[in-house]
């Protein structure tokens, strides 16, 4: 995005610019990214398959249903090893939880020759399709493999507090990107 903005604003200084994945026009309730993710999870050329996509869709649909009830929220907290019991009562925490689950699918940095366990679409699809059981169980297993033995800290207020801390903390370098995305780019 910055490359394209620079080219537009300073054409006398920049003869050209490469701007891959550069959404230069903000769109409210933009679903286009999810469409690209779905296509990638189903595309054989990058290691996906229709079965992989359907498994992911089915798993997330079940997560969505479980989030609707207190018992379902408890099931999710137990299955996904959420650090704080009762965390999923808050809608903000539910959205954060869905974001954490979606980050199990490393699509933006899809490297076909990566050496990590779940570092590309092919390895992620293989992992989610490997274990016997339901799509939900597969998502649970994939998340546990990705997260390791540590519990998942789902606390929206804590995340906001960390993002408002102006001191740089390793692992919190997303702060400047979120600020720029939300305030300067209008997303």
Report the run of H or E that residue 140 belongs to, with start and end: helix 135-147
Integer Cα distance of 142 and 105 in angstroms: 10
- Whole-number mean pLDDT of the chain? 87
Q: What local confidence, expressed as pLDDT, does residue 117 receive?
A: 85
Whether the Cβ atoms of residue 105 and residue 42 lie closer than 8 Å to each other: no
pLDDT at 170: 61
pLDDT of residue 74: 97
Q: Residue 27's pLDDT is what?
A: 74
User: Greater confidence, 128 or 31?
Assistant: 128
On the question of pLDDT at 52 being above 70, the answer is yes
Give the Cα separation of 45 and 160 in Å (integer). Answer: 39
Is there a contact between 84 and 153 (Cβ–Cβ < 8 Å)?
yes
Q: Based on the number of CB atoms within 10 Å of its own CB, is 141 exposed (0-12), middle (13-18) or buried (19 or more)?
A: middle
pLDDT number for residue 63: 97
| Contact status, residue 24 vs residue 187, Cβ threshold 8 Å | no
pLDDT digits (tens, 9 = 90+) for 82-94: 999 999 999 999 9
Whether the pLDDT of residue 13 is over 80: the answer is yes
| Region label for 23, one of left (φ > 0), alpha (ψ between -120 and 50) or beta (otherwise) | beta
Stretch 118-133: mean pLDDT, rounded?
Answer: 90
Indicate the pTM of the whole model: 0.81
Q: What is the mean pLDDT of residues 41-57?
A: 95
CB-CB contact of 155 with 84 (8 Å): yes
* Tens-place pLDDT, residues 145-186: 888 888 999 999 998 887 777 776 666 567 777 777 777 666
């Amino acid at each position: 995005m910055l490359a394209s903005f620079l080219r537009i604003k300073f054409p006398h200084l920049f003869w050209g610019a490469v701007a891959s994945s550069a959404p230069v026009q903000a769109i409210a309730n933009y679903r286009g990214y999810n469409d690209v993710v779905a296509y990638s999870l189903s595309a054989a050329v990058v290691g996906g398959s229709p079965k992989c996509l359907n498994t992911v869709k089915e798993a997330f649909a079940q997560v969505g249903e479980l989030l609707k009830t207190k018992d379902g929220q408890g099931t999710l907290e137990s299955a996904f090893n959420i650090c704080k019991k009762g965390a999923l009562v808050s809608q903000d925490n539910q959205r954060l939880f869905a974001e954490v689950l979606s980050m199990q699918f490393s699509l933006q940095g899809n490297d076909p020759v990566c050496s990590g366990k779940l570092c590309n679409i092919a390895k992620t699809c293989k992992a989610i399709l490997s274990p016997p059981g339901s799509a939900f169980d597969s998502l649970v297993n994939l998340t546990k493999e990705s997260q390791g033995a540590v519990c998942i800290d789902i606390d929206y207020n804590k995340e906001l507090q960390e993002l408002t801390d102006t001191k740089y903390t390793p692992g919190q370098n997303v702060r400047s990107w979120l600020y720029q995305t939300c305030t300067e780019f209008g997303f």
